[in-house]
Amino acid sequence: MTVSTERSVLPGFGLTVGYTTFFLSAVVLLPLSAMIIKASSISHGAFIKLLLDPEVVASYKISFGTSFLAAVINSIFGFAIAWTLTRYDFAGRKFLDALIDLPFALPTAVSGIALTAVFAPHGWLGLQLASIGIKVVYTWIGITVALTLIGMPFVVRAVQPALAEVQRDIEDAAETLGAGRFTIFRRIIFPTILPSLLTGFAMAFARGIGEYGSVVFISGNLPMQTEITPLLIVKRLEEYKYVDAAALGCIMLGMSFVLLLSINLLQAWSRRRLFVGRRS
Amino acid sequence: MSITLDQITKRYQNTPVVNDVSLDVGDGEFFVLLGASGSGKSTLLRAIAGLTGVDHGRISLHGRDVTHISPRKREVGLVFQNYALFKHMSVADNIEFALRVRRVKAAERRARRKELLRLVALEGMDDRLPTQLSGGQQQRVAVARALAHKPQVLLMDEPFGALDAKIREELRRTIREVQRELRISTILVTHDQEEAFALADRIGVMNLGRLLEVGRPEELYARPATRFVATFLGAANLLLGRQTADGIRVGTTPVTAPINSMWDQRTMQREHEVVAVLRPEEVALAPTRDELATLYLGTGVVESTMFTGAYERLRVRMTEAGTIASGDGEQANDKHHLATLDVTRSQHDQRLLPLTPGQSVAVGVRRIHVLPTPLSSYVVYGKTDAQVESLQTHPFLVELANRMKTRVTTQLEPQLGSRSRALPGQGPLAGVAVIHTSNHTAAELEWLLRHGASEVLLLPAGNVQPRRVLIHWTGETVRHATLAVAASMLRHVAAEATYLNIIPSQSETQKAEGMRELLDARSTAQTTHGLEMRTELRFGEVAGELSRQLQSSNEQMLILGITDMDDIQDRFAAIFKHPHCPVLLVFREQHRD
């Protein structure tokens, strides 16, 4: 470890690292370790058995599948919203901008109840969708809808500053060189904001995997069909199977970590392409 | 002509930022648009590239009208101040971008890229990313990229703005060489006069959205026609002098200066005030008057000296009261109107006569240039102190005087507007007379004209922001003078100019005659006075039509040329009674012989 000797506004390196380690340990590392220790009391064979339990496997599929889908949807529409907010000036823009953050602040249970009310077979949207044969509540579609709502602000807030930084001059330059709108978007704007879009995607995805409150109401928690992993963990806890719950948590932790790490690496790679040489 | 602009106007929120600009740039010419920030030069460049639409006028490139053609299809190359490179693409991809868009084959693209990289001296940099290059190298890539598709014109917007001095000079040389080699018509926008001198075949100077003057660098420097160009291109001392029967005098000194104003032969014979440009390097200093080898201007005291390497810069305050009136606004508050001159001396002169602050010197002039501007200074007239004071601080007048870098003096005149006869032998009034509008405007106007004023500015109370200047004259005698005054005024006001020709009836012969007069007026304004203006033909009675036009908006100004003093009362009484817009009256008496 190299110690920076440059002066900075915050107190010395030792103190900063000390505080960082302490808080990280108390709030993140210790609880996680406790969970892993708890889970390790289970035997190898039992662990594998638990891992391959059909109900568990189904819950992983649902959790990761719907989270991924929601993150993809968010990447597309979140980008569109960010574009609208940065590029156009219209009445109510500030208002809309503030509205984006609402899902951050709302208790997730409230979002869940609201969504269920709207998408229930007799709700405003549910009624319309039912007439064309789409059932939202108690299906994976409902879970995706809930996770989309929860993850939206992450993408918008990640992409917005990057879009604001794309200079109009660059688009002007491309235009005088003969590029049409689509080419400018595909070859100039999109590659420039890709790292930020990936960040937003990763955050929305991570949030989706961990989400619990908004999903329980709309999913109906049917085993093998709409049971997400966090719910399964709660279920095990209610059955007093603490070790099983901890083991499930560990597996989830591991998979999430691997996924997020790979997205981060991808993002770092694309960012390096863009900003290499900055520090020389 | 490869770039032709015809009366380009671009407005933002009703204020013209580019105002009636017409320009021809020849094949292979390097044209530099020079102006301060906010002068409209960048907007004009963007308009040529098609990135900004225009509200009026036509743009053609190599004979093709591109006014309504999108930037994609204009075939121009554009270079930006901040390079605007595509950061995620390599140098090669950046340069080939325009060719890729045009689906040019890979081998051909490669060959063109190699050629361009050689041209901008960046061979072998193909695979670098823009962020791995220095600022100067990035701008070279941007130039190469802008030239890849063999555009018909190259446009550059402050391309050296973000670079430091050394690299700037290097890149400047490269760009000049590239331009010479490709013989591509180029317009470069800058605020740096040194850059303009170094690069330009011709320079166009812009201010307040107007293209003031166009010419070869040495021409513009030696013989500017406007105050702005005189002071913007290099340093200049502006002095007020008098045009007399036997030449021009600055202070008591007759200065033989070539008279290059052809716009008003009759005015040249009349004694009147003129603005003279004295370059700092054309001032000679000597211990005594007898030792001056040049024309003697007066004596002065050295105020400060500054060593700048090759030259020494001095400020010399003239000491003989009343000898030299400064035309520089900075000294407008000095009660004696004594000029302070900027002087530069070579090392050689410094060795011959070392000077320190406080020393007294004789000041001489090697060469002086008289501006052909009819608006020299302003004299505020009023019957009471209060009147004079309120008029002297009128926001419009203050702004005008600041922009013209001229002075505003005051004249208390209790007799103003009375029927008293002019005193015999009284000389003509110097500068533009300024009065407030009131119930007695017409009488005061007559009084001023009888006492020798030839230009009178009427100001209504309160601030005024003219966006449109109406021009009209009542006779041939005053036509040139009115146009000259209008041209001078419009260099300092961000307004659009419209010449109104008003004819009594709509008969075919009169209509044709009226149209001919319009075209005539426009071409005289353009060629003799450097003024671009619109023209409109109106029908009806002159005074009625003028006041109807003035009623339409408060943001107007009228420049009216008359030849008969009686017209003030007889024809235009309605206009002068309570104008809510400024009116500038130009008077040249019709000779009755």
Distance CA B236, CA B230 (A): 6
Please tell me the predicted confidence (pLDDT) of residue A274.
63
Q: Is B30:B154 a contact under the CB 8 Å cutoff? A: no
Taking the CA of residue A265 and the nearest CA in chain B, the distance in Å comes to: 18
**B522 at the A interface (CB within 8 A)?**
no
B71, B77, B131 member nearest A175 (Cβ):
B71
**B127 contacts chain A (CB < 8 A):** no
Residues in B 98-117 with any Cβ partner in A closer than 8 A:
98, 101-102
3-state per-residue secondary structure call for B422-473:
CCCCCCCCCCEEEEECCCCHHHHHHHHHHCCCCEEEEECCCCCCCCEEEEEE
- pLDDT of B327 reads 53
Contact assessment for residue B8 and residue B20, using Cβ atoms and an 8 Å cutoff: yes
The residue in chain B having the minimum alpha-carbon distance to the alpha carbon of residue A178 is B72
What pLDDT does residue B333 have? 41
To which H or E segment does residue B276 belong? strand B272-278
Residue of B nearest to A190 (CA): B88
A110-160 pLDDT, tens digit each: 888 888 888 888 888 888 888 888 888 888 888 999 999 989 999 999 999
A110 alpha-carbon distance from chain centroid: 19
Residue of B nearest to A177 (CA): B98
In which band, very low, low, confident or very high, does the pLDDT at A75 lie, cut at 50, 70 and 90? very high
pLDDT in the model for residue B156: 96
Helix (H, G, I), strand (E, B) or coil at B79: strand
Chain B residue numbers with beta carbons less than 8 Å from the beta carbon of A173 are 78, 80, 84, 86, 142, 145
Q: How close A191 comes to chain B (CA, Å)?
A: 7
Residue A77: what pLDDT? 94
> Cβ distance B354 to B302 under 8 Å?
no
Q: Give pLDDT, residue A225.
A: 84
Q: Looking at chain B, which residue has its C-alpha nearest residue A180?
A: B72
Write out the DSSP string of B371-388.
E--S---EEEEESSHHHH
What stretch of H or E contains A115? helix A108-119
A108 pLDDT above the threshold of 90: no
C-alpha torsion angle, residues B429, B488, B257, B331 (rounded to 10): 70
What local confidence, expressed as pLDDT, does residue B321 receive? 45
Angstroms from A156 CA to nearest CA on chain B: 22
Backbone angles phi, psi at B102, to 5 degrees: -90, 10
Query: Does B49 contact A at CB distance below 8 Å?
Result: yes
State the smallest CA–CA distance between residue B101 and chain A in angstroms: 6
CB contact under 8 A, A175 and B98: no
Residue A212 has pLDDT above 90, yes or no: no
SS3 labels along B490-537: HCCCCCEEEEEEEECCCCHHHHHHHHHHHHHHHHHHHHHHCCCCEEEE
Length of chain B: 593
Integer Cα distance of B465 and B396 in angstroms? 7
A vs B, Cβ pairs < 8 A, gives 76
Measured between beta carbons, which residues in chain A are less than 8 angstroms from residue B85?
170
What parts of chain B have a pLDDT lower than 70? 245-246, 252, 255-270, 320-338, 420-429, 578, 591-593
At B335 the pLDDT is 46
Judge contact between B377 and B430, C-beta under 8 A.
yes
Nearest to A172 among B51, B86, B132 (CB): B51
The Cα–Cα gap between B365 and B174 comes to 39
Q: What is the pLDDT of residue B431?
A: 84
- Average pLDDT (A81-110) is 88
B14 touches chain A (CB under 8 A): no
> Which phi and psi (to 5°) does residue B87 adopt?
-65, -25
pLDDT tier for residue A278 given thresholds of 50, 70 and 90: very low
Measured between CB atoms, which of A179, A274, A278 is closest to B88? A274
Task: Establish if B82 touches chain A: CB-CB under 8 angstroms.
Answer: yes
Minimal CA separation from A3 to chain B, in Å: 28
Count the Cβ atoms, other than its own, within 10 Å of residue A110. Answer: 13
pLDDT of residue B322: 46
User: How far apart (Å, rounded) are the C-alpha atoms in residues B228 and B213?
Assistant: 10
Q: How far is A257 from chain B (nearest CA, A)?
A: 29
Residues of A in contact with B102 (CB under 8 A): 178
Please check whether residue B429 is in contact with residue B450, taking contact to mean a CB–CB distance below 8 angstroms. no
d(CA B352, CA B292) in angstroms, rounded, equals 13
Please indicate whether, in this complex, the C-beta atoms of B102 and A178 are within 8 angstroms of each other: yes
Residues 6+ apart with CB under 8 A from B90: B126, B127, B128, B129
Residues 6+ apart with CB under 8 A from B219: none
Q: Which two tokens stand for residue A273?
A: 């392409």
Beta bridge partners of B538: B502
Per-residue pLDDT averaged across A31-54, rounded? 84
N residues, chain A:
280
User: Tokens for B582?
Assistant: 């400024």
Smallest CA–CA distance, residue A171 to chain B, in Å, is: 8
Residue A277 has pLDDT above 90, yes or no: no
Report the residue of B85, B88, B89 to disrupt the A interface, i.e. the one with the largest count of A CBs within 10 Å: B88
- Does the beta-carbon distance from B84 to A277 stay under 8 Å? no
Q: Residue A119: what pLDDT?
A: 87
Q: Is B68 on the interface with A (CB under 8 A)?
A: no
- Give the pLDDT score at B332: 40
User: Would the CB atoms of A174 and B146 count as touching at under 8 Å?
Assistant: no
Q: Which of B73, B102, B129 sits opposite A276 (nearest CB)?
A: B129
Min Cα distance B355 → chain A (Å) is: 50
**Nearest Cα to Cα of residue B370 among B225, B219, B490:** B225
Q: Which of B458, B343, B339 is nearest to B406 (CA)?
A: B339
**Residue B116 parent element (H or E):** helix B106-119
* In contact, A114 and A142? CB cutoff 8 Å: no
Is A178 close to B101, i.e. CB distance below 8 A?
yes
Identify whether the C-beta of residue B342 lies closer than 8 Å to the C-beta of residue B280. Answer: yes
Whether this model's pTM surpasses 0.90: no
Mutation site, A171, A172, A177, A182, interface B, largest B CB count within 10 A: A177
* B131 Cα to chain A: minimum distance (Å): 6
Q: Looking at beta carbons, which residues of chain B come within 8 Å of A271?
A: none
CA A150 from chain centre, in angstroms, equals 8
What are the C-alpha distances in Å from B5 to residues B8, B153, B211, B420?
6, 13, 11, 53
Q: What is the mean pLDDT of chain B?
A: 87
B549 CB-contact burial (10 Å; exposed 0-12 / middle 13-18 / buried 19+): buried
